[in-house]
């Protein structure tokens, strides 16, 4: 807190928080020579801090990243994943939207349809997420798991239009967690859905071949618990 107060006395500290600059500032900070390798507990804490920063860009996305991470971790744990692997999935969930720091708030909060140009701004956040996380977690799969959350099994997702075989189990799990929570949350263009409505939308996506059927069934088996994580 004392360090924060000292930093906050400088106008440049707040200017660097501008959405137009903050992602560049984060990237540049990881290019310095005096980097410290964090253990898993510290990495989770730092990821949580960045997640809250991302989610605070809009009242409609408050707690989105933290809820997605909790859902992803819960589903991973119920499927038998343990230890550091579980922690890495949670970190990827916390940071899956970090690229949205580059997206203007007026686009995120827009109540109606967005333009083609605005959609391009939104869609690039997955690519930006991958770029920053590859610098933060070099040699680890966290960046790929996080940046693939808008890919789909029929190869029409973004940013890489990957076919299903190239989308890891962890990325598929985070994608389902992301969709589940998005539908459970109020957005500027619609109200939140109840758990039956959310489950129906997941089934629609599965039938279209967009998301993993096994993940959908995992959610169905634990629907009450997953919905509680999403909204309580």
Helices (H), the chain: 2-8, 11-15, 22-29, 40-55, 64-78, 83-94, 105-108, 116-123, 125-136, 142-147, 169-183, 195-207, 213-221, 223-231
Helix (H, G, I), strand (E, B) or coil at 187: strand
State how far the alpha carbon of 98 is from the alpha carbons of 11, 39, 41, 189, in Å. Answer: 24, 20, 19, 22
Whichever domain contains 210, its CATH number is 1.10.3210.10
- The answer to whether residue 8 sits within a structural domain is no
Q: What pLDDT, on the 0 to 100 scale, is given for residue 31? A: 63
Count of domains in the chain?
1
- Provide the residue range defining the domain that includes 154: 40-231
Pick the catalytic residue: 100, 110, 134, 135? 100
- The answer to whether residue 3 sits within a structural domain is no
> Residue 79 region, left (φ>0) first, then alpha (ψ -120 to 50), else beta?
alpha
User: Over the stretch 33-84, which tens digit does the pLDDT of each residue have?
Assistant: 566 677 888 899 989 988 998 888 887 788 999 999 999 999 999 999 999 9
- Can 100 be counted among the known catalytic residues? yes
Model pTM score? 0.84
């Amino acid at each position: 807190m004392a360090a924060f107060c000292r930093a906050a006395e400088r106008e440049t500290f707040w200017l660097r928080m501008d959405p137009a600059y903050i992602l560049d500032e984060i990237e540049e900070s990881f290019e310095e020579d005096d980097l410290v390798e964090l253990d898993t507990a510290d990495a989770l804490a730092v990821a949580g801090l960045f997640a809250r920063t991302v989610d605070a860009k809009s009242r409609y996305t408050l707690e989105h990243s933290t809820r997605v991470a909790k859902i992803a971790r819960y589903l991973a744990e119920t499927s038998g994943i343990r230890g550091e692997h579980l922690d890495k999935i949670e970190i990827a969930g916390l940071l899956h939207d970090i690229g949205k720091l580059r997206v203007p708030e007026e686009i995120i909060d827009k109540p109606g349809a967005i333009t083609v140009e605005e959609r391009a701004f939104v869609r690039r956040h997955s690519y930006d997420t991958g770029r920053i996380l590859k610098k933060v977690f070099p040699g680890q799969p966290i960046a790929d798991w996080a940046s693939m959350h808008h890919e789909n099994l029929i190869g029409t997702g973004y940013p890489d239009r990957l076919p299903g075989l190239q989308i890891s189990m962890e990325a598929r799990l985070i994608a389902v967690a992301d969709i589940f929570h998005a539908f459970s949350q109020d957005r500027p263009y619609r109200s939140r859905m109840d758990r039956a409505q959310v489950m129906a939308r997941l089934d629609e996506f599965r039938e279209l071949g967009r998301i993993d059927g096994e993940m959908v069934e995992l959610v169905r088996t634990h629907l009450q618990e997953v919905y509680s994580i999403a909204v309580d």
